[in-house]
Amino acid sequence: EAEVAQSPRYKITEKSQAVAFWCDPISGHATLYWYRQILGQGPELLVQFQDESVVDDSQLPKDRFSAERLKGVDSTLKIQPAELGDSAMYLCASSITGEQPQHFGDGTRLSIL
């Protein structure tokens, strides 16, 4: 079964450093999502792409977070500079269209020291 690929699986870094996450969606999935999940809470949408275009980034802290999907396939989420409160699981998901079920990757567990 096709999967959403994410890397790295784990990332430990110090505050003020830059960190980047990568996601490769299921082939043919036009819609890609980045979520942040804090322990004990449900995932919170950070940014949604339709092909290479940002559809929604209203919850993305744009002073430190950026996301891109240049060729409409894989995507990168960056944090610069990282803060202690950014420690969380960062999940990437994709769907054929925005109306269809989303399928999640394994996530990146980020710990900020």
* Smaller CB separation from another protein, 49 or 65: 49
Least distance to another protein, CB of residue 95, Å = 9
HEC secondary structure over the chain: CCCCEEECCEEEECCCCCEEEEEECCCCCCEEEEEEECCCCCCEEEEEEECCEEEECCCCCCCCEEEECCCCCCEEEEECCCCHHHCEEEEEEEECCCCCCCEECCCEEEEEC
Minimum gap (Å) between residue 50 Cβ and another protein: 9
Distance in Å, CB of 16 to another protein, minimum: 27
Contacting positions for another protein (CB under 8 A) = 31, 33, 40-45, 48, 55-56, 89, 91, 97-99, 101-107, 109
| Of 48 and 79, CB closest to another protein | 48
Q: Of the two residues 75 and 102, which places its CB atom closer to another protein in the complex?
A: 102
**Nearest residue (CB) to another protein, 56 versus 68:** 56
Which of 49, 57, 59 minimizes the C-alpha distance to 23?
49
